[in-house]
């Protein structure tokens, strides 16, 4: 059995959950095995019939399971793995999926390979997996010696595919959650105010780095953004560490992952930890005064020059075009 | 209050990766070393907790002798003491083994708060903190971006798309920290000088059999073809053209 441990947000299976199901079906097909999925939460059994191409859906519907209860979910998932002894159990490599599987792995005293992007199945068994290192700027091939094999799948490593087939058999898991499993629980959710276009939704992102020189200078990027459709301003770690911008504006390995149509990098050297956050941009335009800056090896368009001259000139030109 | 922070020494790779000839490691010739930004923030958080509530803080790393550099930098910023679990082959320890060694060392030291990075900079396993928590039978909240201590309770917050999730856990507890929880300070010159003299507690540790074994490192494809639009302000018309192409204006 290949067991897919799925994430449900606001009553629906997430995109990364569907990717996980796709990977599980693929692994099962290559190793001639069956596929099961585990659904945990309140009222999740209604989702079971939507899962096609899967043999069994295990359902755990404890009334306690509201909000994020990581230890409770881990108890259930560990129980399911003990009961069913799958060859492989995999979950989405999201923040919550990685958190859950680490708790499961600790409970079962098993290894866990997080954020996998490739699987190599030979002679019907999973030999090696490739996982992300450095937030995705390097790949690591590993061999896993523990059994069952526990994995998480990096988001968007593959595209979710629908499948045909009979509706799966539903099996209810019942176990009583201990007090301890409920000790880490969300008490409250404080909604954040949505203001403007978010970095991850913007079609155009303008990023500023050390070359901006000050918090003041970012006003010019804000102005440029206001002259473009669907644009937002981002920053490098140098800019956020200098308090020129809030950390929520940071793009990169330890910041946001963006995928706009165009990323305009101003005064940014192109360090891999920054670029891994914007590598999914359709096009990258770099403005840098140093022709040797590494960003020019990772961009589609380059402007060699002082951003403090280029950006104001660009703003003036756009205003002229708007006025005309 | 006794606070522990765990950090991992990693190369500061900046412009790009070079791999060693056997493809097993990042070639660190001519590279400096650092710790993950998440861990820098964990260090800052530990210092702030002690400044506010009193007590002591300890930084711990499992790594080579050279990792004294990262420990002393933390002390220079204000951490009280340091522990080095010496393993020259630390890059090949899997997270279960690292967690086991850390848990064994700290279990009798009576820490109230144990801070980790959300994930290490290089191998990004997302699990050492949670595994240590499990081995010590402590509650753990991951990926936190705010932490407040009231009496013997910690209020930790995680930031999600929908808002701030608030968790309340009794101490002792483990937290894994994300960058953005604070802005780390720089060490003072005086801090750097006095950190040189602080003795570091050292213990040699041996790698147990790994469940996850590295076979190779590989670089992903990077395929962009650079077109130079021009020098300085002369490039403006071409930039406008590109903005039009993507529908930005
Ligand atoms: C584990 C880890 C995680 C990290 N995570 C992130 C992350 O999430 N995001 C991130 O951004 N960084 C991250 N970093 C830091 C990263 O390695 C770089 O240090 C950082 O991205 C550099 O920022 P920068 O390009 O603004 O500054 P610099 O590297 O100093 O580059 C500044 C550039 O500006 C140019 N410049 C200067 N003045 C001008 C001017 N007037 N006009 C035009 N160009 C000018 C210079 O030529 C130079 O190329 C991380 C590092 C580590 C080790
Ligand atoms: N070798 C190590 N020594 C000390 N702490 C470590 C080590 N490896 C990982 N950690 C800690 O565990 C966190 C998570 O690591 P990982 O599970 O590898 O992503 C890191 O951010 C560190 O705080």
Mean pLDDT of B165-188: 97
Q: Is the CB of B175 under 6 A from ligand 2?
A: no
Is residue B106 within 8 Å of B85, Cβ to Cβ? no
What pLDDT is stored for residue B125 in this prediction?
Answer: 98
B201-230: string of b/e by CB count within 10 Å (b at 16+)? eeeebebeebbbebeebeeeeeeeeeeebb
Residue A193 banded pLDDT, cuts 50, 70, 90: confident
A contacts of B133 (beta carbons < 8 Å)? 106
Q: Compute φ and ψ for A166, nearest 5 degrees.
A: -65, 155
Least confident stretch, A5-9, A114-118, A185-189: A185-189
* Average pLDDT value over all residues in chain A: 95
Task: Give CA A203 to chain center in angstroms.
Answer: 19
Mean pLDDT of A44-53: 92
What pLDDT is stored for residue A166 in this prediction?
Answer: 82
CA B141/CA B120 separation, integer angstroms: 16
Residue B162 banded pLDDT, cuts 50, 70, 90: confident
Distant-in-sequence, close-in-space partners of A186: CB < 8 Å, separation ≥ 6:
A67, A68, A69, B165, B166, B167
Smallest CA-to-CA distance from A9 within A63, A66, A52 is with A66
Ligand that lies nearest to the alpha carbon of residue A294, given by its number in the listed order: 1
Residue with the bigger pLDDT between A195 and B126: it is: B126
CA A43/CA A12 separation, integer angstroms: 11
Distance A258 CA to ligand 1 centre (A): 17
Cβ contact A186–B166 (<8 Å) = yes
Q: Would you state the structure tokens that stand for residue A29, as one six-digit string?
A: 């097909």
What pLDDT is stored for residue B223 in this prediction?
Answer: 84
Residue B139 has its nearest CB partner, among A114, A184, A240, at A184
Ligand 2, pocket-test mutation among B45, B116, B131, B135, most atoms within 8 A of CB:
B116
Q: Would you state the structure tokens that stand for residue A311, as one six-digit string?
A: 């950006």
What pLDDT is stored for residue A64 in this prediction?
Answer: 79
Cβ contact A301–B226 (<8 Å) = yes
Residue A6 clears pLDDT 80, i.e. is over it: yes
CA B164/CA A244 separation, integer angstroms: 23
Length of chain B in residues, anyone? 249
What pLDDT is stored for residue B14 in this prediction?
Answer: 82
CA A301/CA A261 separation, integer angstroms: 13
What pLDDT is stored for residue A167 in this prediction?
Answer: 86
A-B contacts (CB, under 8 Å): 260
Is residue A71 within 8 Å of A183, Cβ to Cβ? yes
How close A290 gets to chain B, by Cα (Å)?
11
A104-118: string of b/e by CB count within 10 Å (b at 16+)? bbbbbebbbbbbbbe
Q: Is the CB of B9 under 6 A from ligand 2?
A: no
Eight-class DSSP state of B45: H
pTM of model > 0.95: yes
CA A64/CA A194 separation, integer angstroms: 30
CA B30/CA A75 separation, integer angstroms: 46
Q: Would you state the structure tokens that stand for residue B234, as one six-digit string?
A: 């002369």
Residue A324 clears pLDDT 80, i.e. is over it: no
- The 10 Å Cβ neighbour count of residue A67 is 13
CA A221/CA A232 separation, integer angstroms: 9
Is residue B130 within 8 Å of B139, Cβ to Cβ? no
Residue A138 has its nearest CB partner, among B17, B126, B238, at B17
CA A253/CA B31 separation, integer angstroms: 19
Element of type H or E holding A214: none
What pLDDT is stored for residue A127 in this prediction?
Answer: 85
Hey, whose CA ends up nearest to atom 48 of ligand 1?
A: A269
Q: Within 13 Å and on the Cβ side, how many CA atoms surround B29?
A: 5
% of residues, chain A, pLDDT over 70 = 100
Eight-class DSSP state of A136: G
* Average pLDDT value over all residues in chain B: 97
Residue B15 banded pLDDT, cuts 50, 70, 90: confident
- The 10 Å Cβ neighbour count of residue B20 is 12
Is residue A253 within 8 Å of A276, Cβ to Cβ? yes
What pLDDT is stored for residue A125 in this prediction?
Answer: 92
Q: Would you state the structure tokens that stand for residue A157, as one six-digit string?
A: 């490593």
Eight-class DSSP state of A185: -
Domains A2-182 and A204-323 share a fold: yes
Query: Using CB atoms within 10 A of its CB, is residue A283 exposed (0-12), middle (13-18) or buried (19+)?
Result: middle
- Helical packing angle, A95-108 and B128-135, nearest 10°: 40
Residue A118 banded pLDDT, cuts 50, 70, 90: very high
Element of type H or E holding A44: none
Query: Using CB atoms within 10 A of its CB, is residue A122 exposed (0-12), middle (13-18) or buried (19+)?
Result: exposed
Residue A134 has its nearest CB partner, among B122, B211, B230, at B122
% of residues, chain A, pLDDT over 90 = 88
What pLDDT is stored for residue A219 in this prediction?
Answer: 98
Smallest CA-to-CA distance from A108 within A137, A86, A139 is with A86
Cβ contact B236–A310 (<8 Å) = yes
Nearest CA in chain B to A304: B231
Cβ contact B127–A102 (<8 Å) = yes
In order of their start, the domains of chain B are 2-245 (3.40.50.620)
Per CATH, domain A2-182 is 3.30.460.80: no
Is residue A231 within 8 Å of A223, Cβ to Cβ? no
Is residue A247 within 8 Å of A240, Cβ to Cβ? yes
Domain ranges of chain A: 2-182, 204-323
Q: What is the architecture, at CATH level 2, of domain A204-323?
A: 3-Layer(aba) Sandwich (3.40)
A contacts of B130 (beta carbons < 8 Å)? 99, 102-103, 106
Q: Are strands A12-13 and A8-9 parallel, antiparallel or unpaired?
A: antiparallel
Q: In this predicted model, what pLDDT tens digit does every residue of B57-84 receive, in sequence order?
A: 999 999 999 999 999 999 999 999 999 9
Cβ contact A261–B134 (<8 Å) = no
CA B197/CA B176 separation, integer angstroms: 30
Distance A209 CA to ligand 1 centre (A): 6
Ligand that lies nearest to the alpha carbon of residue A273, given by its number in the listed order: 1
Is residue A277 within 8 Å of A297, Cβ to Cβ? no
Residue B222 clears pLDDT 90, i.e. is over it: no
CA A309/CA A289 separation, integer angstroms: 11
């Amino acid at each position: 059995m290949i067991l897919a441990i799925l994430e449900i947000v606001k009553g629906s299976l997430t995109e990364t959950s569907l990717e996980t199901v796709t990977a599980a079906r693929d692994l099962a097909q290559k190793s001639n095995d069956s596929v099961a999925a585990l659904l945990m939460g309140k009222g999740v059994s209604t989702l079971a019939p939507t899962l096609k191409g899967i043999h069994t859906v295990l359902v755990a519907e404890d009334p306690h399971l509201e909000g994020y209860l990581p230890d409770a979910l881990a108890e259930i998932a560990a129980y399911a793995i003990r009961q069913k002894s799958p060859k492989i159990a995999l979950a989405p490599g999201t923040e919550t999926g990685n958190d859950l599987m680490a708790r499961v792995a600790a409970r079962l005293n098993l290894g866990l390979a997080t954020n996998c992007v490739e699987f190599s199945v030979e002679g019907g068994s999973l030999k090696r997996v490739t996982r992300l290192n450095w937030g995705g700027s390097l790949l690591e091939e590993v061999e896993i010696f523990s059994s069952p094999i526990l994995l998480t799948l990096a988001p968007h490593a593959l595209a979710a595919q629908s499948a045909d087939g009979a509706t799966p058999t539903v099996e209810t898991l019942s176990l009583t959650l201990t007090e301890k499993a409920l000790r880490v629980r969300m008490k409250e959710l404080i909604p954040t105010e949505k203001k403007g276009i978010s970095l991850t939704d913007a079609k155009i992102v303008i990023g500023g780095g050390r070359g901006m020189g000050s918090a003041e200078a970012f006003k010019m990027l804000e102005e440029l953004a206001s002259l473009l459709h669907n644009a937002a301003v981002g920053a490098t770690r140098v800019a956020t560490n200098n308090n020129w911008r809030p950390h929520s504006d940071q793009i990169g390995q330890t910041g946001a992952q963006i995928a706009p149509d165009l990323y305009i990098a101003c005064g940014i050297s192109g360090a891999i930890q920054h670029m891994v956050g914007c590598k999914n941009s359709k096009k990258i335009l770099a403005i840098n005064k140093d022709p040797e800056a590494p960003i020019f090896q990772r961009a589609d368009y380059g402007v060699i020059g002082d951003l403090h001259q280029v950006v104001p000139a660009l703003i003036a030109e756009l205003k002229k075009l708007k006025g005309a | 209050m006794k606070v522990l922070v765990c950090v991992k020494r990693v190369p500061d790779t900046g412009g790009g990766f070079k791999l060693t000839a056997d493809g097993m490691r990042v070639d660190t010739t001519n590279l400096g070393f650092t710790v993950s930004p998440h861990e820098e923030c964990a260090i800052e958080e530990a210092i702030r907790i002690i400044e506010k509530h009193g007590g002591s803080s300890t930084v711990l790393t499992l790594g080579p002798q050279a990792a004294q550099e990262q420990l002393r930098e933390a002390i220079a910023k204000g951490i009280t003491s340091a522990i080095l679990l010496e393993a020259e082959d630390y890059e090949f320890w899997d997270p279960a083994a690292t967690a086991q060694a850390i848990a064994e060392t700290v279990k009798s030291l009576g820490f109230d708060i144990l801070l980790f990075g959300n994930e290490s900079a290089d191998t990004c396993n997302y699990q050492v903190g949670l595994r240590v928590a499990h081995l010590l039978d402590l509650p753990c909240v991951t990926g936190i971006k705010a932490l407040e201590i009231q009496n013997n309770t910690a209020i930790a917050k995680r930031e999600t798309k929908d808002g701030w999730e608030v968790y309340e856990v009794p101490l002792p507890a483990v937290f894994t920290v994300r960058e953005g929880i604070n802005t780390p300070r720089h060490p003072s010159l005086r801090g750097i000088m006095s950190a040189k003299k602080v003795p570091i507690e050292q213990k040699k540790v041996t790698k147990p059999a790994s469940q996850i074994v590295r076979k190779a490192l590989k670089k992903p494809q990077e395929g962009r073809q650079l077109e130079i639009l021009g020098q300085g302000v002369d490039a403006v018309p071409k930039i406008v053209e590109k903005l039009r192409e993507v529908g930005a204006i």
